[in-house]
Amino acid sequence: MAFLEINQVDKIFKDAKRGTQVQALQDISVTIEENEFVCLLGGSGCGKSTLLNLIAGFEKPTIGEIMMNGKKIEKMGADRGMVFQQPTLMPWLTVQKNIAFHLKLKRASRQKKKEEAQKYIDMVGLTGFEKHYPHELSGGMSQRVGIARALLQNPSLILMDEPFAALDPFTKLEMQEELARIWQKNKRTIIFVTHSVEEALMLGTKVIVLSKRPGRINKIINLEMDRPRDSTSPIFNRYKREILTLIEKNEEPLLEEDSMHQVI
Ligand SMILES: Nc1ncnc2c1ncn2[C@@H]1O[C@H](COP(=O)(O)OP(=O)(O)OP(=O)(O)O)[C@@H](O)[C@H]1O
Ligand SMILES: [Mg+2]
């Protein structure tokens, strides 16, 4: 039995008010094993967030099903943790309390909350900022809090939706290295959405390249590269060329807005 199985999933959004519908995903089938770091790569609007939301259980597939450990995903669950593009921190809580929020819900002791939070604060490189509030943090630091919070929940699957998209190139690189290090040390299963080929190649064990809308699987590539990844190495650039060629072949003249929507 696979850890995560996505079976022939379609997602169609109906817009009753406008009398239209948008097919976001078409015939998505993929199997993901435990400890994989899967990068979901595709252009804007190809359905990456939609697929992540289906796995998270925020939405349901129109056709098909998603199974985790043999059980159909029908709603949200503590076995899946989400890190969003913009960190959704609680502004009235310190770094430490934001990270330990999940334990507060579980009514853990003060000592346990402090110890657990510290472990993840150290892990993501925020030591010394325990008592800071979100407005006193940089974008990169806020993202670290979001990642630490997701790790502390100890979900078996971490879903990340372009978590580094808003960061400058230096911070982004630093965060990518940090995440790869944390993943290597702690071995979690991660599904990471990105529209950057380089980011997917820096991080993933597997890249799923999605086509334009409706998002279909263009290709699944297993990355055989050492870590830390070197973006100047020949193998990295071979993968990059392969993916860019796939994307170029998928380029078609822009469709008229109307033909993207089918009338119900
Ligand atoms: N809740 C919704 N209701 C209606 N349409 C939606 C909804 N969510 C997404 N869509 C549509 O589905 C398509 C895919 O959207 P999605 O957000 O999954 O794309 P994406 O690949 O994450 O894009 P981006 O890289 O810009 O974040 C888009 O055409 C979008 O308009
Ligand atoms: Mg998105």
In short, whether 47's Cβ falls inside 6 Å of ligand 1 is: yes
In short, whether 214's Cβ falls inside 6 Å of ligand 1 is: no
Per residue in 39-96, pLDDT (tens digit) is 999 999 999 999 999 999 999 999 999 999 999 999 999 899 999 888 889 999 999 9
Residue 90: phi, psi to the nearest 5?
-90, 115
- Between the alpha carbon of residue 87 and those of residues 49, 58, 103, 219, the distances in Å are 15, 18, 19, 30
> Which two structure tokens, joined as six digits, stand for 71?
């059980």
Give the amino acid at 25.
L
Q: Digits of tens for pLDDT over the chain (264 positions)? A: 899 999 999 999 998 888 899 999 999 999 999 999 999 999 999 999 999 999 999 999 999 999 999 999 999 998 999 998 888 899 999 999 999 998 887 888 889 889 999 999 988 889 999 999 999 999 889 989 999 998 888 899 999 999 988 888 888 888 899 899 989 988 899 999 999 999 999 999 999 999 998 999 999 999 999 999 999 999 999 999 999 999 888 765 444 444 444 444
The whole-number pLDDT of residue 96 equals 95
Ligand 1 centroid to residue 243 C-alpha, Å: 22
What the chain holds in terms of domains, given with CATH numbers, is 4-79+157-260 (3.40.50.300), 93-154 (no CATH)
The whole-number pLDDT of residue 174 equals 87
Tracing tokens 């997602």 back to the chain, one arrives at 11
Residues with Cβ within 5 Å of ion ligand 2? 49
Nearest CA residue ID for atom 31, ligand 1? 45
77-99 burial by CB neighbour count: b if 16+ within 10 A, else e? eeebbbbbbebebeeebbbbbbb
